[in-house]
Amino acid sequence: MIAKLLPIGLAFIMFSLGLGLRISDFRRAFSRPRALAAGLLAQVVLLPLSGFLIARGFGLSGEGAVGLMILAACPGGVTAGMVTYLARGETALSISLSAITSLLSFITVPMIVGASLVFFLGESTTVDVPVAQLAGGLLVVTLLPVGLGLWLNESGRLPAKSTQRVHHAATMVFVGIVAYTFLHEWPSITRHLPDLGPAALTLNLVTMATGALLATGARLSGGERIALTMECGIQNSALGITLALSLLALPALAIPSVIYAVLMNVTAIAFIAWRRWQFVESHA
């Protein structure tokens, strides 16, 4: 029952983010090709490369390595936008990157996962991305709710107090989703954390650092650096689990995505707390 409510909760979070945005925010995001290029380089190229090097460096088993590569091949997660918002980053840039990487994943995921299966397991398997599920999720959970919130904000049809209440409620929903992930996945985490936890945590921290360094090198604004950092660290682990369980029918390949789903929320919460502390210090 709760699992079925998760897409609704995610859609509500995206609606809340849309209420805080204007069309000019997306125009600004797409008028900064350096920000988009840095984000795509980090997500599409450097993240899978980092996953491969980490899998080899930690000496993961074949199944563990492929599972990590499946995760590294996935696009940014829906909650990256919420984390970016809570960390006072450029939310429009985060949402734009999530949408673009999700569209590119129709091409990149089969290539990366197929090559990983051959390299680590010696299996030549065709990987079909669930196009309808991914496209439907992108539309229903992300684009439509953001569009509705954006329209209400642009038209001024929702009072400021109501908008604030929606933002507060969305934050609570986000906290609830994180808590549910912890509780629901805890048995799998405790069983496999010693073997796969260090590699998953390293991937999370390395990808976040990669996003931050690329943004700094491209001389992006502070808000854009936050967006790239979070976009790289928050992966669509649900897609990784779906690929492993439904398409490849190999449950062991889903474990890295399960562990990463929890760890990325831990680091995201820590990052949000650090950013909030910075904000308070700068205004003290």
Asked whether residue 234 is domain-assigned, the answer is: yes
Asked whether residue 94 is domain-assigned, the answer is: yes
Q: 42 vs 179, which has greater pLDDT?
A: 42
Local confidence band at 60 (pLDDT 50, 70, 90 cut-offs): very high
Asked whether residue 79 is domain-assigned, the answer is: yes
pLDDT in tens, 199-216: 999 999 999 999 999 999
pLDDT in tens, 85-142: 889 899 989 988 888 888 888 888 888 888 888 888 886 665 565 556 656 666 777 7
Asked whether residue 283 is domain-assigned, the answer is: no
Q: What is the CATH number of the domain that holds 261?
A: 1.20.1530.20
Percent of all residues in the chain with a pLDDT value above 90, rounded to a whole number = 30
| Angle in degrees, CA 95, 2, 229, rounded to 5 | 25
Distance CA 73, CA 71 (A): 5
Tally the domains of the chain: 1
pLDDT in tens, 95-106: 888 888 888 888
pLDDT at 54 over 90: yes
> If you average pLDDT over residues 214-226, what whole number do you get?
92
Exposure letters 233-257 (e unless 16+ CB within 10 A, then b): bbbbbbbbbbbbeebbebeebbbbb
Exposure letters 156-169 (e unless 16+ CB within 10 A, then b): eeeeeeebeebbee
Which range of 54-58, 237-241, 259-263 scores highest in mean pLDDT? It is 54-58
Residues whose CB is less than 8 angstroms from the CB of residue 245 and which lie 6 or more positions away in sequence, other chains included:
251, 254
| Stretch (H or E) spanning 282 | helix 255-282
Asked whether residue 284 is domain-assigned, the answer is: no
Identify the domain containing residue 246 by its residue range. 2-155+164-278
Q: 60 vs 281, which has greater pLDDT?
A: 60
Asked whether residue 216 is domain-assigned, the answer is: yes
CB 127 within 8 A of CB 70: no
Asked whether residue 80 is domain-assigned, the answer is: yes
